[in-house]
Each structure stands twice: as structure tokens, then as C-alpha cells.
């Protein structure tokens, strides 16, 4: 029986890396992303009978329900989900509006919940794994991340609750919390000063590679390698979340 994986935000960044690696491991993959040039590029890049790319706004409940049903009909039984879709802003508290806060919570938390819930409904009783991509900002108190960090902290908590509730259905639910990663977005927005600031707080003194986040995610999806792992948030961050006082000198 073929294994089908849903990856939200799968048209670019970490999500796209997970899609490529999952295909190499033999998964059939459904890419959920917003309609637009990014998803169109993914459709061109991923011309394969094992892939379907769907324009889905993960905050729209009816659209998520319909998309999950379409995946089951076109690719076969769902066995895994990666919630990688999300948005973030680096905004001081007094500049963060209620609308901005709601938008981030809606996409990062509600969107992840809806996709996980519907996929779990399909997988219940036959087993499977859900991995939520969160962030070290949901673990540590990072300045300027009041809305983004709150949303990722909520997803970490949601992960634990879903793991407990869905375990009797044979489902595992975990999270991967990346530190700073060299994605195209980070390369665009993180200038030299910001990179130095991040690296000064990371024991390994470097940004992570997309492939390192991908490897951790695929590990948690694997029932043979991680079959007794559920409800965990795995920080893939070069030691950022466990660091105390460090020598602040730069190489």
C-alpha cells in the first residue's frame, strides 16, 4: 500500500525541502499552498504521478475538508502530515495590532489544527504521523515575536494535546522547532548584523540548513525509527534553546 503525505506550505522553503525528500523516500505527496505563482512553479517542478498540488487556504475549514478528501481519492490513504504553512512578523509589542495578531494566530494555529484534525479523521484506526513545524520562538522569549512566538507556542501545546487524544487511534503527533535556517527568506531579510546577533546566541555559531530540518521531520514521520515518539517538540537549533552564558566572542 502506498503512503501518502500532506505537506502544507509545500511550494517553497522548508516545506519544499520536505516534499523533495519525501518523494525520494517513496511517499506520494500532496502539496497544499496558496494559489499563485509559488504553487504554479511547484506544479511545473513536480510533474510526477506521485504528486498533487492543491491551492488551499488552510484557514478555510470547508476548503481543508474538501482537499483532504481529494487527496485520499487521488493519491490513496493518508499516512502522514507536515504542517509547514505559516507566517511571521518581527514587530515590537506596541506596534503589533490586534488584526496582525489575529492573522498570525489564524494561519499558524487554526490552519495547522484544521489540517491535522481532518487528516487525523482520515487516518484514525489505521495509524499515521503528524509533524507540526513550529519555531524556537515558541520556546524562548524572543524580542519582537509577541504574535509569532505566541502562535508557535500554541502549536507546541496543541501538539501535546493531540498526541494524547489521538494515541488510541494509532496516531503520533510531534513538532519540529527550527532555529534560524538558511532559507531564501532568511537570506533576503536577515542582514549581516542580524545574522551576527543570532549566531552569537547559538552554541554551534551558525544557521541551520533546510536539509537538517527536513531530516528531523522525516525521522518523526517514520514509524520504524520514531514509532514510540509522540507529543515531543524537537528543537533543531544548534543549541539555541538550551544555551546559558557563553563566550560572546565571534570567530
Q: Using DSSP, state whether 156 is helix, strand or coil.
A: helix
pLDDT at 1 over 70: no
Distance CA 251, CA 244 (A): 19
The whole-chain average pLDDT of the chain stands at 93
Grid look-up 501545546 returns 157
Is residue 228 part of the annotated active site? The answer reads no
Per-residue pLDDT, 249: 44
Give 79-147 as a 3 state SS string: EEEEECCCCCCCECHHHCCHHHHHHHHHHHHHHHHHHHHHHHHHHCCCCEEEEEECCHHHCCCCCCEHH
Longest dimension (CA), the chain: 56
The predicted-structure confidence for 11-53, as pLDDT tens digits, reads as follows 999 999 999 999 999 999 999 999 999 999 999 999 888 999 9
Inter-residue contact 39 to 62 (CB < 8 Å): no
| 77 CB neighbour count, 10 Å cutoff | 16
Give the chain's length. 251
CB burial class (10 A; 0-12, 13-18, 19+) of residue 195?
Answer: middle
Please write down the long-range contacts of 102-105, taking CB distance under 8 Å and 24 or more positions apart.
104/147, 104/148, 104/151, 105/147, 105/150, 105/151, 105/154
pLDDT of 184 above 80: no
pLDDT at 251: 47
Rounded to an integer, the average pLDDT of 230-238 is 97
Decide if pLDDT at 56 tops 90. yes
Hey, what's the cell of 242?
Answer: 538550551
- Going along the chain from its start, the domains and CATH numbers come out as 4-180+210-234 (3.40.50.720)
- The answer to whether the beta carbons of residues 159 and 233 sit under 8 Å apart is yes
DSSP class of residue 207? P
pTM for this model (two decimals): 0.94
- Taking only the tens place, the pLDDT of each residue in 77-111 is 999 999 999 998 889 999 999 999 999 999 999 99
- Spatial distance between the Cα atoms of 55 and 1, rounded to a whole number of angstroms: 26
Catalytic one among 27, 32, 113, 148? 148
In the predicted structure, residue 76 carries a pLDDT above the cut 60: yes
| pLDDT value of residue 194 | 84
β-bridge mates for residue 5, sequence order: 29, 80
How large a percentage of the chain has pLDDT more than 90?
A: 82
pLDDT more than 70, % of the chain: 98
Structure-derived torsion over alpha carbons of residues 138, 8, 20, 25, reported in degrees to the nearest 10 = 90
Q: What is the pLDDT of residue 248?
A: 61
Amino acid at each position: 500500500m502506498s503512503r501518502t503525505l500532506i505537506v502544507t506550505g509545500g511550494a517553497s522553503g522548508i516545506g519544499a525541502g520536505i516534499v523533495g525528500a519525501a518523494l525520494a523516500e517513496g511517499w506520494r505527496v500532496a502539496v497544499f499552498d496558496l494559489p499563485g505563482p509559488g504553487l504554479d512553479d511547484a506544479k511545473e517542478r513536480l510533474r510526477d504521478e506521485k504528486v498533487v498540488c492543491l491551492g488551499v487556504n488552510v484557514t478555510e475549514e470547508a476548503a481543508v475538508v474538501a482537499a483532504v478528501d481529494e487527496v485520499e481519492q487521488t493519491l490513496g490513504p493518508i499516512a502522514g502530515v507536515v504542517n509547514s504553512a505559516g507566517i511571521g512578523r518581527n514587530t515590537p509589542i506596541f506596534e503589533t495590532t490586534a488584526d496582525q495578531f489575529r492573522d498570525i494566530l489564524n494561519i499558524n494555529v487554526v490552519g495547522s489544527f484544521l489540517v491535522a484534525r481532518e487528516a487525523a479523521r482520515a487516518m484514525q484506526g489505521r495509524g499515521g504521523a503528524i509533524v507540526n513545524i513550529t519555531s524556537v520562538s515558541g520556546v524562548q522569549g524572543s524580542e519582537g515575536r509577541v504574535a509569532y512566538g505566541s502562535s508557535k507556542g500554541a502549536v507546541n501545546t496543541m501538539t501535546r494535546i493531540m498526541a494524547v487524544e489521538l494515541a488510541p487511534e494509532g496516531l503520533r503527533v510531534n513538532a519540529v522547532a527550527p532555529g534560524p535556517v538558511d532559507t531564501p527568506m532568511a537570506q533576503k531579510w536577515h542582514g549581516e548584523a542580524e545574522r551576527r546577533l543570532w549566531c552569537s546566541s547559538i552554541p554551534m555559531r551558525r544557521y541551520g540548513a533546510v536539509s537538517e530540518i527536513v531530516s528531523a521531520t522525516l525521522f518523526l514521520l517514520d514509524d520504524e525509527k520514531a514509532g514510540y515518539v509522540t507529543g515531543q517538540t524537537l528543537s533543531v537549533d544548534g543549541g539555541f534553546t538550551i544555551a546559558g552564558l557563553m563566550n560572546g566572542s565571534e570567530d
